[in-house]
Amino acid sequence: MLFAGCKTDAQNSSVFNFAYTKVLVDDIKHIVSTVALHLDGSDVATIQVQNFSGVEAIFFEIYSPDSINDCIELIKRVRLFNQSACIFILVTHSKSFSSINCYIAGADHCLKLPTDASEKLSLLTRTLQESHWKSSTQLYLDRTRLLLCGTTKKLEISYTEMTIIDALIHAPEHVMSQDSIAKALDPNIVFYDPRALEKTISRLRTKIKKTYGLELILSVRAFGYRLRRATVKVQI
């Protein structure tokens, strides 16, 4: 089975923990300020009746290469009911791992955890603190005036930069390949320079980081980019 744990009434839970390793279960309990219920992923009936609509955060452990497909299917189920929950994928096996399909399914953070206990806890704590669950910032994209607005600041952006952010906002799970972003910038494009696109997005990320102190656009290795969930809305 993909997950192990104890059965529990999860209807009123705000945090679910689908970890398999007891040490990881304890680590999650340590860093999460609210109660994280350890749901038994082997109990299919329990999962099928749970709509996840009120969940704020979910932790999944991928403890073997074979467990990733079950994990992806469960992520997709969560996203049918909940687009704002923060989903953490925690990889504990030693084999190679590609996070692409997890991000496409709707994950927010994919971590290959180190074996050292202190390093692992430090990485988990830092990722949690930087996540949209614990560090919420609301920005608004003004497409007409080419502005990315916060509560007290306004950042001027170019038309190209606005188009990139807008495309990521409306992309499924806010994830896009480089090719798809290039098509959003020019629907008739046949060839483009990936390095030029990377530089454009890098400059945009730096501007946003300097103004608002957060990583809004994140790289998906060997694929493209994703937008920090629950952070940007289109100004109407």
What contacts 140, CB < 8 A, 6 or more positions away?
Answer: 148, 149, 150, 232, 233, 234, 235
> 120: closest CA among 160, 78, 91?
91
Write the class of the CATH domain 15-130.
alpha beta
Q: Is the pLDDT of residue 1 over 70?
A: no
Radius of gyration of the chain (CA): 19
Q: CATH 1.10.10.10 in the chain, residues?
A: 139-234
Q: What is the pLDDT of residue 47?
A: 61
Higher pLDDT, residue 4 or 169: 169
Percent of the chain with pLDDT over 70: 89
Q: What is the pLDDT of residue 3?
A: 36
pTM metric for this prediction: 0.90
Q: CATH 3.40.50.2300 in the chain, residues?
A: 15-130
Q: What is the pLDDT of residue 144?
A: 96
Q: What is the pLDDT of residue 44?
A: 46
Write the class of the CATH domain 139-234.
mainly alpha
Q: pLDDT of 91-150, one tens digit each?
A: 999 999 999 999 999 999 999 999 999 999 999 999 999 999 999 899 999 999 999 999
Going from the C-alpha of 76 to that of each of 51, 69, 135, the distances in angstroms are 12, 11, 24
CB atoms within 10 A of CB 170: 12
Q: Which token pair is 32?
A: 């999460």
Q: Is the pLDDT of residue 41 over 80?
A: no
Q: Which residue's entry shows tokens 């340590």?
A: 30
